[in-house]
Structure 1
């Protein structure tokens, strides 16, 4: 039976808000449009009311806590953070829009993305679990004074927080690398089995032709995914956070191209490429070790079977002599 989830919906001005009980993201979108007075045929985008994260995946929707508040946006509407005025006791709306920016001498005080993430952590540290790797990397790369000022923490506590974020990021990367290593191993086993039954087939080169998930932004100039560029420019050991296919693409581009893509000098770029090449070699060696273990296992299994058959034949011969 599908779980029924209570949640809340509001329009982009936050002037209308309703509570719903729905079994799925689609039902929440349909009922939300009905309550908010939207046309049933109009395209609607669902975002989290507190930070504007777009919600399109059914699995992600089901993982969110009960009573999560969503904002339904029609065309030409966009999410904006809440602005409190009069000491937080009143709300101002103008021209059917909530106050989006506080301008002082013509300078906008609209918070940056890292400041929004910092506020999420300040309100609830467990929100780390729902943050993407890109968001975690943004917080890790911020300077300690900036983050301390935004969070209201002591610098030492901010350093400990960044170390925790880095460990979470590393754990996610290790999980991905383990998955990729297993996939490489399974591909190698399938390729070996295929070579035994069919003639050799041309090998597809993955360099420069990575599988790009739907909805992932790709830089039109370099051909790299946005996440890949962000990881490459990270502070600590970016080569360990890239997939094997991404490492192959980085090494194949060469120092000159990568220096232009990253905007680095030749020495720094060369150091990164050497680290990527070494990491790629290490992973390939791991695959070779696993293939060797697999071959030894198959050989031992093949030797054991004839020995069992020989023992069975000997037993049958002995039985016939007794008769």
Structure 2
């Protein structure tokens, strides 16, 4: 017959502790649950009280020294190390829902993140309703203290903070995408207006060689208004339509020297400015098109996921 082994058991708050003499690990679970007031229908796991090592093997149980202290845990409970304050004279115990006010560090309880941690402890889904400021407060909280407040192991609390930071990062990306889209729409409206003006001027020039003093240069193919803009002194490239910019860049330095009557250096500088402006506009359009494509893809994926989650309607 297996020798009976003296040992001690406690619950996960360490507020209850009992001495037992049992011959096996199964007997430890049975008698320990009875002593701690656990329901016989609930399964329990056994860990070493001092370091949280899981004890599942009968042979390992028998190898442990006499009077080893074990902790019995329910399914949703987890081991955590002992925390002390006041030089070790007061033990900080944690309950499944409410912390004893006498054992809570006053500085922690007064911290802004403490009340938020208590909300999460009661309902983790309350994260959805938290503002960005509240989420950032939880991210900035000391990880060991947050773990203690939530009743988590420190690694789990660290994972939670990383998840919250990811939520904040995604919200910031969404905000920047919206701002970029607004800038694109404004630029598109402005460019559309410039193109309409250019088209109207071209149509009027085709019907009449001279309209309000604006003539078409048959040699260059540019409307006189465009030539006036090109010869302007203050950033002429920003006042041209995309179509005009493409025409200027395509003509090249030599052709534009003859059109403008300038020297090579001045003409080259103008063409470089026009090319940079054209490149910037095209990059902006490509960026917004990419945003729209991603948004459409995300919408399609979301719709597919929602459709997959919806159960098929069957007949009764």
- In the superposition, the TM-score normalised over structure 2's length comes to 0.34
Larger CA Rg, structure 1 vs 2 = 2
- In the superposition, the TM-score normalised over structure 1's length comes to 0.34
